[in-house]
Structure 1
């Protein structure tokens, strides 16, 4: 976890926010939901919701993607921005939405059994078939 202050906005700018506090390094997720949502594997950081401050959320919409999670996106430009496990105090944020420099690093590959066949997983990162315990 890294203590950072970052700014972010979607492609059209209708959703913009600042984050502060501790950010988890990026996890690449290869589950079928992330593949279908992003068109490729997803790369997410995570912060506590109290450390997320919206500057604008005019077109923020949420889609309940499973019994346990929802995904936030821009209904104007289509940017996929958030993944939230319902009932938790944290929110995962698509790493590509942050302005550079982020000072974040990719740390692990998760749900690797779901990956598509057209790309390779980084062989230097730890790999997990599911979400790692602990």
Structure 2
């Protein structure tokens, strides 16, 4: 794929190293309540495939819902990723990557949950919580 790129990065202390492939060098900002509690602001992640983690023994995982988990470094506390359990894709924290120069914010989700005390000036696609659920949520049975 033309926009595909390999990204490398690490947590703040270096105990966890990441090599992953991003289909596009884009960042999504999530404004949901859980992400803001987890990161004290929007979680900014890059959708990555083929994520390989060195230092797996330093990765703590917590189930944040029935379908997803969040990863963090147990040594320094860096937020590492948001991961849908039944998926190979990871939303890896954008700030971990060594080279962020080609990354561009393209999407904001849960915009109806965003507090009024901050605003991004980037022109992005904007999705409410209901729009996210309709687009990415589990299919009705």
Which TM-score applies when normalising by structure 1? 0.88
Matched, 1:133 2:132: no
Q: Residue 41 of structure 2 aligns with which residue?
A: 40
SS in 2 for 1:58: helix
Provide structure 1 residue ranges, at least 5 long, that are not aligned to the other structure. none
Query: Once the 2 structures are TM-superposed, how far is the Cα of residue 56 of structure 1 from its aligned partner?
Result: 2.4
SS in 1 for 2:34: helix
Provide structure 2 residue ranges, at least 5 long, that are not aligned to the other structure. 137-141
Q: Residue 118 of structure 1 aligns with which residue?
A: 117
Matched, 1:22 2:23: yes
Which TM-score applies when normalising by structure 2? 0.84
- Identify, as 1 or 2, the structure richer in helix: 2
Q: For the residues of structure 2 that align with 1:67 and 1:101, how far apart are their CA atoms? A: 32
**Change beyond 3 A, Cα 1:103–1:122:** same
RMSD value, Cα: 2.0
Number of residue pairs aligned between Structure 1 and Structure 2: 132
Q: Residue 69 of structure 1 aligns with which residue?
A: 68
Q: For the residues of structure 2 that align with 1:21 and 1:30, how far apart are their CA atoms? A: 21
